[in-house]
Amino acid sequence: MITRPLDLQSRLSAPPRDADVFFWLNAGAVALFFGLLGSRFILGPGVPVQINGGPPGLDIPRTATVTQGAASVVVSYRRDNMVLFEGGIFELRDLNAPMEKYVKGHPGATMMMRVDKQVSVQGLLDLLDLAKKAGFAHVWLAAEPRRGDADNPVTAVR
């Protein structure tokens, strides 16, 4: 008894058995919330663009599963000849090979394009053409509100 002079272990009570149910309910609720909030139930903010040979215009993709409609890669087009794709900075003419490599690894991929206002319309169309040649299933154009629009939301008048 030299190592345990106060004999505190004999005075401890057994852990309560009724807390097990609450623990598992709490763990299940946490897992449910992470499963729902971390999933791809919410489609990306953007406008779908027709690229696969149909009639010109906007095309809402038909999705068989939840993950088909979500963006699988995001491309940021900052200014002409500066494209951010999969962690690298590319010029538009050098982007074809990485895009084809990505599509081979992810068949049926969806690309979301975040295009800055400094990019010309011709640059946007060139990037859409590259996405079509690379084999992306869908392309979404992401939009963000202007700086002043977010501060002054439109309210309904009754």
Strand partners, 113: 75, 141
Contact call for residues 134 and 96 (beta carbons, < 8 A): yes
What average pLDDT does the segment 115-119 reach? 82
Confidence of residue 45 (pLDDT cuts 50, 70, 90): low
List, as one string, the DSSP characters of 87-152: TEEE-GGG-HHHHHHHHHHSTT-EEEEEE-TTS-HHHHHHHHHHHHHHT-SEEEEE----HHHHHS
Confidence of residue 124 (pLDDT cuts 50, 70, 90): confident
Q: Per the structure block, which two tokens stand in for 77?
A: 């087009």
**Structural domain boundaries in the chain:** 47-144
Helix (H, G, I), strand (E, B) or coil at 83: strand
Helix (H, G, I), strand (E, B) or coil at 30: helix
pLDDT, position 23:
84
* Most confident stretch, 80-84, 87-91, 106-110: 87-91
Phi-psi region of 108 (alpha: psi -120 to 50; beta: other; left: phi over 0): left
Q: Taking the domain 47-144, which CATH number applies?
A: 3.30.420.270
pLDDT, position 150:
53
DSSP 58: -
Q: What is the pLDDT of residues 63-75, one digit of tens each?
A: 544 444 455 788 8
Q: Is residue 153 over pLDDT 80?
A: no
What average pLDDT does the segment 128-134 reach? 88
pLDDT, position 156:
47
Determine if the pTM surpasses 0.75.
Answer: no
Distance CA 96, CA 133 (A): 8
Of 23-27, 48-52, 63-67, 81-85, which gets the smallest average pLDDT?
63-67
Q: What is the helix (H) or strand (E) element at residue 48, kind and residue range? A: strand 47-49
- Burial class from Cβ neighbours inside 10 Å (0-12, 13-18, 19+) for residue 69 reads buried
pLDDT, position 29:
94
